[in-house]
Chains A and B, each alone.
Chain A
Amino acid sequence: MIHPLILVSVFIVCSVLGYFIIRNVPSLLHTPLMSGMNALSGVTIVGAIAATGLAFLADKGVVAQIVGCLAIVLAAVNVFGGFGVTHRMLMMFNKKKK
């Protein structure tokens, strides 16, 4: 268990860093960027995997396991769909370069 204060400060630091990184993105790329961000928000898959895996190992009941698996499926759709769509969009922007 990591101390709550550390977790909260990680959140704050990353928020500030994220804010400054995004400021440089031109509006031309806002759609792919948003779509990429969207894929990244599927990062919750990490939490879903850990929680579900542990629920299975500790045998916490069928309902918990179903809820956990559903969480993984939803997050995985978000991640794979999100990165896939972003990639497709970005490839369209780059077509012209070749």
Chain B
Amino acid sequence: MSVLQIQIIISAVTALLVMAGISMMSKVKTAVAGNLLSALAMLIGVVATLLFAGVVSVWTVYAAILVGALIGGTMARRVQMIQMPQTVALFNGLGGGASALVGILSALRIGFSNAQLAAIDEGGFWPFVQCTALLAVAVGMITLVGSLVAAGKLHRVLPQKPIVWKGHSVCTLIFLVLTVCFVIAGIFVDSGAMGVCLAGTLVAASLFGLWFSVRVGGADMPITISLLNSLSGVAGSIAGMAISDVFLVAVGGIVGASGLLLTQIMCRAMNRSLMSILLGGGKKSAPKQSLTTDSQNEALVKRVMDLEKKIKELEELVKNLEGRVQTLSAQVDAAEAGKDAAAAAKPAAEGPTAASVLSAAKDVIIVPGYGMALAQAQHQVRQLADKLESRGARVRYAIHPVAGRMPGHMNVLLAEADVDYEKLFEMEAINDDFKKTDAVVVIGANDVLNPAARNAEGTPIYGMPVLNVDEAPEVIVCNFDLKPGYAGVENPLYSRGKGVYLELGDAKETLARLIAALG
């Protein structure tokens, strides 16, 4: 058996180990072992590479691994759960960057052994190597730049709102086409002209990554991160093709495909097409407008959007006033009933109504959203649930697939607060139970429960499956304010009045008040 054959067999076995590891991650019980198995497979892959590439003796390699391991390990231990989305995005970008660098090395014909160079010459594989090397650079750079922008947005270093530059769509398209042209040119040019192609690919791909990612708004982040994750796998895989490493091709392919599937799942959950997120269509403007969005219309659309925003701001003001009237009337009611004289004396104490509903409820569903993550209120949520359970109520959590800023965001936060995962329910599993429940507590969630998604045609969330919170008899909303969520669509639930209790402000404080009021 030749060395090459042994290498391929080992690669196949390690790739199978990786797949086994991933499939073990589909159950909570085996997930930890699955993750470790994947890590082990990676270790085997690294050792095998050191041996087969004949670079065991190069000490600098170990030093570089050690430096990376120290940085990565420290970050993994230090990072807070709340910062998980941007951390994942950052790591992801670095992986993409590494693939791009490998692509650069192979594009410049560095990093091949003499035997390999001879084999490529003999087989006439240079066009393939050059093209894949450039493609690795392109996808790697898009991943790196895109992930850094995404991480910046999630870390609030960059504005969360979509940024649209002049002629955005046109520029995005031009950069993409340029990237593709340079990569294709890599097939035909000789080694002398490769430098030009390489530089062109680097610049065009980076610009494309920047242009497409700045346009993505906060709520589309789960999809973007998931897509970038997929891309970083693809970048690795293509780099593997360039340097002829089967293990790299295999694992990169697995990651790429699975990332794409996750992306698809998210898109379906938000009722948005991937293209509309990437190219910025179907945003706050009605679909009719976004279809005709070209450079000439963009200014007009922008003006309309500005006006719409103004109207929305005014509407917000009215809503806020309505909320205050509601609170006041509730207080007056309470005072009239003479049940709670203290509530009338303390203007801020709007708790009694919400608290009395909760204390009577035997079946409560909690709906968390990004606001819970922002306020870091997961521990208070848990306390509230404990309190309710100690009073004999059944408490469940309804998790919308795109609640938060990355897939499964809510699950991780609640797990951090020691909430049993058996109490977490996916949308399909719990949506019919809202009408049967006694009370619903909404914590920092808006778009995912906006009933307008069912009938407000032309809005960005139209057709998006939402949690049927409006079917519940009593709804307690612990949101920061009544502003529309990222989608910019008013939530009619807030103005329903009957059976809706608005507990506005920082979720941590409002929850603490609720818990205290429950006694």
Contact = CB atoms under 8 A, between A and B. Distances in A.
Interface of A: 1-4, 6-8, 10-19, 21-58, 60-61, 64-65, 67-97
Chain B: number of interface residues, binned into ranges: 35 or more
Given A19-B260, A47-B239, A64 B105 contact: yes
A49 B55 contact: yes
A25 B102 contact: no
A43 B28 contact: no
Name the residue in A7, A23, A39, A83 with the highest tally of chain B Cβ atoms < 10 Å from its Cβ. Answer: A7
Contact of B257 (A15, A67, A71): A15
A96 B262 CA distance: 27
A97 to B, nearest CB: 7
A18 B32 contact: no
B38 A40 contact: yes
A71 B239 CA distance: 12
Contacts of B411: 27-31, 93
Given A53-B61, A72-B64, A97-B29, A28 B408 contact: yes
B240 A47 contact: yes
A95 B240 CA distance: 38
Given A7-B241, A47-B245, A72-B64, A81 B232 contact: no
Contacts of A23: 261
Given A31-B406, A37-B255, A68-B105, A22 B22 contact: yes
B105 A17 contact: no
Given A28-B421, A78-B72, A43 B412 contact: no
Contact of B111 (A26, A28, A54): A54
Contacts of A44: 95, 98-99, 102, 235-236, 239-240, 248, 252
Contacts, number: 416
Given A31-B412, A89-B84, A94-B32, A54 B102 contact: no
Nearest to A80: B72
A79 B35 CA distance: 12
19 contacts: A1-B119, A3-B123, A7-B240, A7-B249, A14-B15, A16-B257, A18-B22, A18-B257, A40-B38, A41-B95, A42-B42, A58-B113, A60-B110, A76-B71, A77-B75, A79-B72, A83-B35, A83-B38, A96-B420
A34 B28 CA distance: 14
Contacts of A50: 49, 53, 55, 111, 243, 245
A14 B76 contact: no
Interface residues of A, dominant DSSP: helix
B334 interface: no
Given A18-B256, A38-B232, A84 B77 contact: yes
Nearest to A83: B39
Interface stretch (B86-94, B364-372, B387-395, B465-473): B86-94
A92 to B, nearest CB: 4
B517 interface: no
A33 B262 contact: yes
Contacts of A41: 92, 95-96, 229, 232-233, 235-236, 252, 255
Contacts of A86: 35
A87 B123 contact: no
Contact of B246 (A4, A10, A67): A10
B29 A77 contact: no
Contacts of B317: none
B339 to A, nearest CB: 40
B249 A4 contact: no
B233 A1 contact: no
Name the residue in B113, B257, B259 with the highest tally of chain A Cβ atoms < 10 Å from its Cβ. Answer: B257
B108 interface: yes
B45 A46 contact: yes
B61 A72 contact: yes
B102 A87 contact: no
B405 to A, nearest CB: 10
Contacts of B233: 37, 40-41
B408 A12 contact: no
A12 B261 contact: no
